[in-house]
Structures are given as C-alpha cells and as structure tokens.
Amino acid sequence: MPIIDLRSDTVTKPTDEMRAAMARAEVGDDVYGEDPTVNQLQELAAERTGKAAALFVPSGHMGNLAAFLAHCQRGDEIILGNLSHPFNSETGSLAAVGGIQPFTLPNQPDGTLRLEDLQAAIRDDDVHHAVTRLISLENTHNRCNGVPLTAEYTRAVAELAHARGLKLHIDGARLFNAAVALGVPAATLVADADSVTFCLSKGLCAPVGSVLCGDEDFIYRARRARKQLGGGMRQAGILAAAGILSLTQMVDRLAEDHARAARLAEGLMEFRDFVVPAPHTNIVRFRMAEGSQVDPQALTAALAGEGVLLDYGNYEGFRAVTHHGVEDADIESTLAAVARHL
C-alpha cells in the first residue's frame, strides 16, 4: 500500500544526492572544531542568516535550548508565545535544564505577540522580580497555521527588546518556508534578531540536524551549552554534508510544498464537515465544523487504514503538512480518501 504521510515534514528522507555526499564527506573531530564539512555548513548557515557565526546541533530543540542557555542565567525569564514550540513541545527543558522561567503571552492568530503585551511583560528592576532576559519568536509559527512573521514585525520586536536591554531569539525551525512564502531572503527576516535556529531535517530533507546562528561571542557560549547538553558530536560531517545540500538545493522547491498545501486546503474546504483556514506555507490546519457528526479520531484512523496519515490532536485539530515526499497526485488521492470516509 502506498503511504501518503502528511503528519509532518520531519518524515522527509535524504535525497540520493545527499546520500552520495554523505558517503564521500571529508570529516574530522568536530568537538576539536576540526570537521571541515561541519565548518563549511556552519559558514554557509551563517551567511544565509546574515550572522557572524553558526553551530551545528542535533535538533531544533537543542538549538533553542542551547540558545536559551547562552542568553540566560538560572532564574532569568524568557517571554514567549503560549502556542510556541519551546513552551509546548520541548518537555519543559528551559525550566528543567536551564532553570529559566517562561513568561507566556497569547499568540495572535497571525503568530505574533502584541507589542503592548511585550512592553507590559518586561519586568522592572526590582528585588522581587526575575530578570527578563530574552524574547523568543517563532517563524513560521507551527501552531498558528504555519504563518510567516514579516521582517517589519520582527524588527519592531527587536527594537523594543533592545531598548529594554533584552535579546531576541527566533525559533526559525521553518525559517526558509517563511522566506520563500514572503519572497524575501531569510537573512532579512532575522536581520535584527540576536540569534536564530533553523531545522535542516524538516522540509529541507536532511536526515538530522539544525543550525543555531548568532554573533561570535554568542556562538562561543552556545557551543559550551551544546557540550553541557551532551550534544558535542565527532565526525558529524557525515550529517553536515546533507545539510549543505539542504541549503543549496532544497530551499527554492519549498514553493511547491506551499502550492500543494494551498490545493489541499482548497479541496478540504469543499467538505462542509471541516473549517479550513487558508494555509500560508506548508502546514494545513483544520478542524471539525460545529454540528458535524463525524468523529475526527475515527476519521484519522480510517484514513490511516488506507495509507493516508494525518496528525490529529484534541486541542490542535487536524494537521496536514506537505513536503518533498508528497506529489500533486497524492493531494488528489488524499481528498478522494477523505470524501470516501465522510
């Protein structure tokens, strides 16, 4: 049975070119800074994000956590969205490992945090207070329907943060989806941020890895944090070789994923059982319409029985993510399968 796996873009497999590049990658011990392929990936990532330096990390989660540890001391506070990935899907690691307190603000439907909410959340210097150290934004915003944040918004938050002595981090797991959707370079989207992490292992198809970028001092501290987290890797150039191709070959094609997501949403909107907001990038989120008699869990299971895999959560509703392994015909097959089971 052919499988159409729309659960996530993390299910993408390395391309044949990636496997070939991995097989012949020049490697060294990256804990000594001696893996030439890792160094090449880091230079490329720094260039693409417009930062001075970069650090290859095993996951987006570790990239965020290493950034938080590099920016903050124990007892400090980070302001982030209530729908953000670090707050919801990273095992509470910023608190558990970093001793850092999250201060959450409501994410607006467009993925932003209101500037007035941010201003009000930054604590005054007072012996009672935690020290507000960092604002963390997410671009694209996973739970907010994959919406991209604009360069203008990010600049406004950076100005606000810097005026109050804070730093700004961008969880850019899908930063290149944002860049493609908005038609601006990734570096422009994060120009005013102090740090940014992005995933190679999602729509960009690498098997493993993310990159954290920032200035030299920050990356020095982040390297130490990565080591503290047990994330120092040795001949990691095998993995970095795939990541280089992610950045040089896989970015522009994200537009195809966005077009397929739009087509999927358009098809789903025709079923009266669903409420389907128009997608912005490669993430289609939809939920049952009020009054629908369809049981979403049973529908998800029935579709899985036919090889169409969707993500469903009681809180988040349905999520379908398009990626390199999903073709135009798969979108039509998915819609046909849904029609059979409604």
Ligand X SMILES: *Cc1c(COP(=O)(O)O)cnc(C)c1O
Closest to 317 (Cα-Cα) out of 342, 284, 280, 292? 284
CA neighbor of 238 nearest in space, from 30, 54, 47, 53? 30
Residue 302: CB minimum distance to ligand X, A: 27
Tell me how far, at minimum, the Cβ of 91 lies from ligand X, in Å.
10
Q: Which is nearer to ligand X, 85 or 223 (CB)?
A: 85
- Over the window 298 to 317, marking each residue x when it contacts ligand X by CB under 6 A and - when it does not, the resulting string is --------------------
**In the complex with ligand X, which residue's Cβ is closer, 244 or 335?**
244
Write down the residue that tokens 């912005």 correspond to.
280
Residue 87 Cα distances to 42, 163, 271, angstroms? 27, 25, 33
**Is residue 35 near ligand X by the rule CB under 6 A?**
no
| Total Cβ atoms within 10 A of residue 339 | 11
Selected from 37, 154, 195, 201, the binder of ligand X by CB under 6 A is 201
Binder among 61, 133, 260, 324 for ligand X (CB under 6 A): 61
Cβ of residue 283: shortest distance to ligand X, in angstroms? 9
Site for ligand X in 202-241 (CB under 6 A): 210
Relative to beta strand 283-288, strand 101-105 is unpaired
Interface mask (CB under 6 A) for ligand X, residues 77-96, using x and -? --------x-----------
Q: Closer CB to ligand X, residue 265 or residue 321? A: 321
For every residue of 180-212, DSSP letters joined together read HHHTS-HHHHTTT-SEEEEESSSTT--SS-EEE
Question: Using the rule CB under 6 A, which residue among 12, 27, 60, 135 binds ligand X?
Answer: 60
Per-position b or e across 301-325, b if 16+ CB within 10 A of its CB: ebbeebebbbbbeeeebbbbbbbbe
CB of 63 to ligand X, least distance (A): 7
Do residues 63 and 210 make contact, with C-beta atoms less than 8 angstroms apart? yes
Q: Give the nearest residue (CB) to ligand X.
A: 60
199 binds ligand X (CB under 6 A): yes
Least spacing, CB of residue 98 vs ligand X, in Å: 16
Beta-bridged to residue 53, according to DSSP, are 214
Q: Which of residues 125-144 bind ligand X (CB under 6 A)?
A: 138, 142
Binding-site string for ligand X from residue 138 to residue 177, where x marks contact by CB under 6 A and - marks none: x---x----------------------------x-x----
Q: Give the separation between CA 312 and CA 309, rounded to whole angstroms.
A: 10
Which residues contact residue 241 at a Cβ distance below 8 angstroms, ignoring those fewer than 6 apart?
18, 21, 22, 24, 25, 37, 41
CB of 1 vs ligand X, minimal distance in Å: 27
Per CB under 6 A, 42 contacts ligand X: no
How many CB atoms are located within 10 Å of the residue 207 CB?
Answer: 16
Q: Cβ closer to ligand X: 138 or 257? A: 138
Q: Which is nearer to ligand X, 148 or 267 (CB)?
A: 148
Q: Which is nearer to ligand X, 151 or 208 (CB)?
A: 208
- Give 146 or 237: the residue with its C-beta nearer to ligand X: 146
How many whole angstroms separate alpha carbon 192 and alpha carbon 50?
10
Give the residue with the Cβ less far from ligand X, 4 or 173. Answer: 173
Token readout for 230 is 């047990």
CA distance 121 to 114: 11
Which of the ranges 53-61, 99-107, 257-265, 273-281 carries the binding residues for ligand X, by CB under 6 A? 53-61
**Nearest residue to 236 (alpha-carbon basis) of 25, 65, 47:** 25
Interacting residues with ligand X (CB under 6 A): 59-61, 85, 138, 142, 171, 173, 199, 201, 210
